[in-house]
């Protein structure tokens, strides 16, 4: 809960806003228009690395608390955002609503499956050569928040998603105008929350997590101990997704770069917050620029953000395979890995967009299929948490890539049906 000591910090922020008045708004305009979020975040990152040691522990803890509170606010509001965007997206499709859902789920499974197998095919010969060793682990100093709000969402995101789909399909069958009006009203509320409530707080949101990573030495630890493995994960993951966007952009390099730039703010949010859920609002904004249909962008990102985690499809298998090599085990054959990948596809529908969420689900799969011992499971969880910034940023990039892939697939199927 929020202690009395936190009220001084909150009152300081309120006093700053009252004193500055319109200048506070000018600050947000400056960040949004002149610097833009990616550049601003990179400036914060460099300044934190250079001068973070001179910041007091109390100030770091307070800044981290502010970031956590903003994150809790986003998570608290997310079920409403998902519900309204999915409801509006399906109702806007009219008679195509059922068809789009039939296309969506298999495409998510195919995309996750491709990630699992591409990581296996590319990483297996590299890991078998013995280049990578991940057995060395070091403790990390943790930064505790000064206070928290402990706000919890009233309903789970999955329940909100299921309710939106069910209500939208029912309204599509009944063809009710009342549902259209309600969905329009909820959509406007959610859009206001994204643009006027969440967006202005993103710089402060990111700053607290950058301070946390600097204090805990996470980035230095990754670079020092796991640079080769980290590079392997990053190159395979980002290389694959950028290649997909390249072909979806009619093999136009400049258009591919433009689409990536639109998604880059969300990628940064995912990297520093280590939560793909927290990056949903920014990812939606970037995807709206990449897609022809903005409603489709909102619908796809909101409905697949928790079950399409392509970064994890690369990071988790590669870390697991590297641990097998480091602990003297043999790498899995085709049939054994096929079982793992099928279990992994199902597990993706239960994954949570929180730091380390996927690892907590996959450790049981590694134990059951690959026979991971207790030390290996501990190492798996620890290394994944260290890699989480890269994996989560790749998940966010994958959300934007998948939205483009879905729109292209959906358009081709519509065109094929029209010709029949």
The rounded distance, in Å, linking the Cα atoms of 76 and 195 is: 16
The rounded distance, in Å, linking the Cα atoms of 125 and 365 is: 23
144/157: higher pLDDT: 144
Radius of gyration over alpha carbons of the chain, in Å?
A: 22
The rounded distance, in Å, linking the Cα atoms of 358 and 360 is: 5
pLDDT higher than 90, residue 356? no
The rounded distance, in Å, linking the Cα atoms of 359 and 170 is: 36
287/105: higher pLDDT: 287
The Cβ-side half-sphere exposure at 412, using a 13 Å CA radius, reads 8
Q: Which range scores top for mean pLDDT: 26-30, 33-37, 370-374, 413-417?
A: 370-374
Helices within 153-293 (DSSP H only): 157-174, 177-192, 202-216, 218-248, 253-273, 280-290
Band (pLDDT 50/70/90 cuts) for residue 35 is very low
**Rounded to two decimals, what is the model's pTM?**
0.71
Evaluate whether 134 touches 323 at the Cβ level (below 8 Å).
Answer: yes
Q: What are 228-281's pLDDT values in tens digits?
A: 788 888 889 999 999 999 999 888 899 999 999 999 988 888 887 777 777 888
Structure tokens at 147: 């206070």
Q: What are 71-87's pLDDT values in tens digits?
A: 788 778 878 887 887 77
Band (pLDDT 50/70/90 cuts) for residue 11 is very low
Query: What phi and psi, each to the nearest 5 degrees, are found at residue 333?
Result: -85, -175
Mean pLDDT for the stretch of residues 116-143: 74
> What pLDDT does residue 96 have?
61
SS3 59: helix
> What pLDDT does residue 384 have?
79
> What pLDDT does residue 398 have?
92
Query: What phi and psi, each to the nearest 5 degrees, are found at residue 99?
Result: -60, -40
pLDDT higher than 50, residue 5? no
Measured CA angle at 235 (ends 234, 241), to 5 deg = 90
Q: Which of 202, 220, 272, 215 is nearest to 58 (CA)?
A: 215
The rounded distance, in Å, linking the Cα atoms of 212 and 235 is: 26
User: How many other CB atoms are there within 10 angstroms of residue 234's CB atom?
Assistant: 18
The rounded distance, in Å, linking the Cα atoms of 79 and 76 is: 7
Q: What are 210-228's pLDDT values in tens digits?
A: 788 778 776 666 666 677 7
> What pLDDT does residue 120 have?
92
């Amino acid at each position: 809960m929020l202690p009395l000591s936190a009220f001084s910090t909150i009152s300081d922020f309120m006093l700053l806003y009252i004193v500055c008045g319109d200048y506070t708004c000018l600050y947000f305009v400056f960040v949004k228009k002149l610097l833009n979020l990616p550049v601003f975040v990179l400036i914060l990152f460099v300044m934190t690395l250079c001068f973070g040691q001179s910041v007091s522990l109390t100030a770091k803890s307070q800044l981290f608390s502010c970031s956590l509170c903003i994150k809790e606010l986003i998570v608290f509001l997310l079920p409403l955002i998902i519900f309204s965007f999915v409801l509006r997206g399906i109702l806007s499709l009219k008679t195509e609503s059922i068809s789009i859902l039939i296309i969506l789920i298999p495409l998510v499974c195919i995309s996750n499956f491709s990630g699992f197998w591409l990581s296996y095919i590319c990483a297996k010969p590299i890991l078998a050569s013995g280049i990578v060793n991940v057995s060395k682990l070091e403790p990390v100093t943790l930064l505790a928040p000064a206070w928290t709000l402990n706000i919890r969402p009233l309903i789970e995101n999955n329940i909100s998603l299921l309710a939106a789909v069910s209500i939208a399909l029912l309204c599509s069958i009944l063809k009710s105008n009342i549902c259209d009006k309600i969905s329009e009203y909820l959509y406007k509320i959610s859009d206001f929350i994204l643009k006027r409530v969440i967006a202005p707080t993103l710089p402060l949101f990111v700053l607290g997590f950058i301070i946390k990573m600097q204090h805990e030495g996470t980035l230095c630890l990754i670079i020092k101990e796991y640079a080769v493995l980290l590079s392997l994960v990053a190159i395979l993951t980002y290389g694959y997704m950028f290649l997909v966007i390249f072909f979806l952009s009619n093999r136009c390099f400049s258009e591919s770069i433009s689409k990536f730039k639109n998604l880059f703010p969300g990628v940064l949010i995912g990297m520093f917050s280590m939560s793909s859920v927290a990056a949903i609002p920014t990812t939606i904004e970037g995807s709206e620029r990449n897609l022809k249909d903005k409603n489709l962008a909102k619908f796809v990102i909101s409905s697949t953000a928790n079950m399409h985690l392509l970064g994890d499809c690369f990071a988790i298998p590669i870390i697991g395979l590297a641990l097998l090599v480091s602990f003297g085990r043999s790498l899995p054959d085709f049939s054994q890995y096929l079982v793992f990948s099928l279990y992994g596809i199902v597990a993706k529908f239960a994954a949570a967009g929180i730091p380390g969420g996927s690892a907590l689900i996959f450790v049981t799969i590694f134990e059951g299929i690959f026979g991971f011992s207790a030390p290996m499971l501990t190492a798996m969880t620890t290394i994944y948490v260290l890699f989480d910034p890269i994996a989560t940023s790749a998940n966010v990039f994958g959300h934007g890539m998948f939205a483009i892939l879905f729109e292209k697939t959906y358009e081709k199927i519509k065109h094929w049906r029209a010709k029949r």
